Amino acid sequence: MQKEAAIREPLILGHKTYHDITEDVCRPIEDKAPKMWYILFGIALIIGLYGVGCILYLLGTGVGVWGLNKTIGWAWDITNFVWWVGIGHAGTLISAVLLLLRQKWRMAINRSAEAMTIFAVFMAGLFPLIHMGRLWVGYWVLPLPNQFGSLWVNFNSPLLWDVFAISTYLSVSLVFWYIGLIPDFATIRDRAKKPLSKKMYSILSFGWSGRAKNWNRFELVSLVLAGLATPLVFSVHSIVSFDFATSVIPGWHTTIFPPYFVAGAVFSGFAMVQTLTLIMRKAMGLEAYIHTKHVEYMNIVIMVTGSIVGTAYITELFISWYSGVEYEAYAFLNRATGPYWWAYWSMMTCNVISPQLMWFRKLRRSLLFTFFISIVVNIGMWFERYVIIVTSIHRDYVPAAWSMHYPSHIDIGVYVGTIGLFFVFFLLFARFFPVLALNEVKTILKGSGQSYKESPDYHNHH
């Protein structure tokens, strides 16, 4: 059992016992779902199905149903892809990097953050698939032995690296998440009364018995996976950024992209975690476990990564001028003052200015303000990708080919649809999975729980 300094704010508020934790986490799963859940689920499902309809129409008719053109070959599709991948960054960062760094506060949020990651990566992965002109031959991006002669994939292409990066990231995250779920599933299984749910949870818990041997292996595997996942946190978005950085397009061809994209991804990922957990803690009565301190920690991450992103923006601007390259200079001038100035300045406001407000302790500990900023950040991060992708190619080298991008209603439908689908997944998760890593949280109850910190026993030790 680890203990931390008494002056640190406790991570678990109130006088919780081990049993309380179990009860708190399992209650939503074992009780009937509240009406609100059904309403939210219904809305998410309708939006999600509309998105699916749009995708089916897209697949049936052609990519032309989107607002793309001869100059702008990617717009909302890849913007959404990068946006979702970025969101999908927080989970692994929290579970892997913070695990290695022994940040105990992560335990309150890692489960839902990982779930969010996986669902976000699902949504992200959808876009490279449906943006293809011929999805039905999309498997050609895999280096499969084939009968087409000597045809092989092009290992020079960053898109191919994307395929490997995203699929690796998804599979490692999924395994990591699932491993963490096993002991918690076992707890639910042990409490389950209905035969069906008992059966289901016993399958899901892989015969977990809770013996020391199990725990020993669990810890080992977690560490190994954390070690595996940590480089992935940095590699995925670096590789996504290569899609742009390795090109010749001014505004894309930028060497600072990998760190800048990774910081941006963590930035947006944490913002999404904030959005989700702030609602979840309230809705599911988990205020004791996810409280102001957690939110403050995350806000600090948002502030730091936001500052990195802001620095990157300004560096880009400076370099575009300093390089003296005609096209580079114009690309950035055009971003700030061209027809898409509003997108650029939305991005700047949302991503550079808003996180700086977190310097104020009062603001970063305000839950309402945090919720607001978390939404703002994700709007800003969507615009960042839109600005990078669209404003760079809409006016590149040859002015005669310059163009404007107008989204079609299918563009909007698919994007909104993925948000719907994401929430369908997340609501199902919240309903049937333990949203808190309950067995892990129990490990910090003694060290970081309020009641233990206040107990005389605790003070006697130190």
Partner 1 sequence: MGITKKYWKGLEELKETPEFIKHKEQEFPHQQTIEDFLADEKLNETSTARRDFLKFLGFSVAAATLAACEAPVTKAVPYVVKPENVTPGMPTWYASTYYDGVSYASILVKTREGRPIYIKGNKDFGFTKGAVNPQIIASVLGLYDSERVTGATANGKLTSWSKVDDAISADIKKAKDVVLLTNSIISPSMKRAISEMALSLNGEGGAKFSHVTYDAVSYAAIREANFKNFGAPIIPSYDFSKAKTIVSVGADFLSSWLLPTEFAKQFGEGRNPDGEWMSKFIHFESVMSVTGSNADYRGMIKPSEQAAVLAYILKGLGGSTSVDSKLKDSAKVAADQAIASLKKSKKESIIICGSNNVGLQMLTNKINNLLNTYGTTIDMNNSIELFQAQDSQVEKLVNNIIAGKGPDVLLMYGVNPVYTLPNGTDFAKALKGIKTSVSFASHADETASLVTYICPDHHALESWNDLKPKQSEYAIAQPTIRPLHNTASALESMLVWNGKRARGGKDSTVAYDYIKETFTTLFPTADFAYTTHNSCIASTVTPQSLVYKDAPVTGLPKAGEVEVVMYQKSAIGTGIHANNPWLQEMPDPITKVTWDNYITMNPVEMVEAGFVTTYDQENGLNIATITVGNKSLTLPVYPLPGQALKTVGVALGYGRGANGEKIGKAAFQTKEYGGYVENEDGKPASIGGNAYSLTSFSNDTIEFSAIAKVNKADGTYPIAATQIHHTVMGRHSIVRETTLDIFTSKDKEAYNPAHTLQRLNKDLEHEEAPVSEFDLWDAHPVEKIGHRWGMTIDLSSCIGCGSCLIACQSENNVPVVGKDEVRRGREMHWLRIDRYFASDEESTVGTRKDKDSFSYEKAEIAALNPKVIHMPLMCQHCNHAPCETVCPVAATTHSNEGLNQMTYNRCIGTRYCANNCPYKVRRFNWFNYPSYKKFTEVNPAQDDLGRMVLNPDVTVRTRGVMEKCSLCVQRIQATKLSAKKDGRVVTDGEFATACSDSCPTNAIIVGDWNDIRSTVRSSSEDKRSYQALEEIGVKPNIWYKVKVRNEVNKELNKLQVVKETAHHGGHGEKKAHH
- Between residue 71 and residue 90, which ones bind partner 1 under the rule CB under 8 A? 71-74
Please answer whether residues 282 and 197 qualify as being in contact, where contact means their C-beta atoms are separated by less than 8 angstroms: no
Stretch that binds partner 1, among 32-40, 173-181, 188-196, 316-324 (CB under 8 A): 316-324
| Residue 387: alpha-carbon gap to chain centroid | 20
Among 36, 151, 212, 368, binds partner 1 (CB under 8 A): 151
Choices 57-65, 281-289, 311-319, 430-438; region in contact with partner 1 by CB under 8 A: 57-65
By C-beta, is 134 or 213 nearer to partner 1? 134
Candidates 2-10, 34-42, 133-141, 186-194: pick the segment binding partner 1 (CB under 8 A): 133-141
Whether 93 and 110 have beta carbons less than 8 Å apart is answered as no
Burial of residue 336, with CB atoms counted within 10 A of its CB: 0-12 exposed, 13-18 middle, 19 or more buried:
middle
Selected binder of partner 1 within 197, 247, 311, 366 (CB under 8 A): 247
With contacts defined by CB under 8 A, name the span among 46-54, 200-208, 287-295, 327-335 that binds partner 1.
327-335
What lies within 8 Å, CB to CB, of 11 at 6+ separation is 104, 105, 107, 108, 289, 293, 294, 444, 448, 449
Q: Quick one: angle between helices 76-87 and 110-130, nearest 10?
A: 160
**Residue 56 makes contact with partner 1 by CB under 8 A:** no
57 in contact with partner 1 (CB under 8 A) = no
Centre a 10 Å sphere on the Cβ of residue 249 and count the other Cβ atoms it contains: 15
* Residue 399 is a binding residue for partner 1 (CB under 8 A): yes
> Interface residues for partner 1 in 403-422 (CB under 8 A)?
403-404, 406
Q: Which residue has the tokens 């009780």?
A: 31
Structure-token pair, residue 283: 């809705």
Q: Considering the rule CB under 8 A, would residue 157 count as an interface residue with partner 1? A: yes
CB 88 within 8 A of CB 117: yes
DSSP state for residue 285 in the 8-state scheme: T
Q: Does 231 bind partner 1 (CB under 8 A)?
A: no
Where does residue 33 rank: exposed (0-12), middle (13-18), buried (19+ CB within 10 A)? middle
DSSP conformational letter for 132 = S
**Structure tokens given for 362:** 């009062």
Q: Half-sphere exposure of residue 151, counting CA atoms within 13 Å on the CB side?
A: 9
Among 25, 40, 54, 68, binds partner 1 (CB under 8 A): 68
Q: Is 243 in the site for partner 1 (CB under 8 A)?
A: yes
333 binds partner 1 (CB under 8 A): yes
Options 33, 319, 329, 416; binder of partner 1; rule CB under 8 A: 329
- Residue 396 in contact with partner 1, rule: CB under 8 A: yes
Of 152, 359, 360, 372, the residue at the interface with partner 1 (CB under 8 A) is: 152
Choose, by CB under 8 A, the member of 189, 335, 395, 453 that binds partner 1: 395
Ramachandran angles phi, psi of 365, nearest 5°: -100, 0
Q: 81 or 382, CB closer to partner 1? A: 81
CA atoms lying within 13 Å on the CB side of residue 104: 22
Asked whether position 376 contacts partner 1 by CB under 8 A, the answer is no
Q: Does residue number 144 form part of the binding site for partner 1 (CB under 8 A)?
A: no
Site residues, partner 1 (CB under 8 A): 61-64, 67-74, 128, 131-134, 137-138, 140-141, 148, 151-154, 156-160, 163, 243, 246-249, 321, 323-327, 329-330, 333-334, 337, 393, 395-404, 406
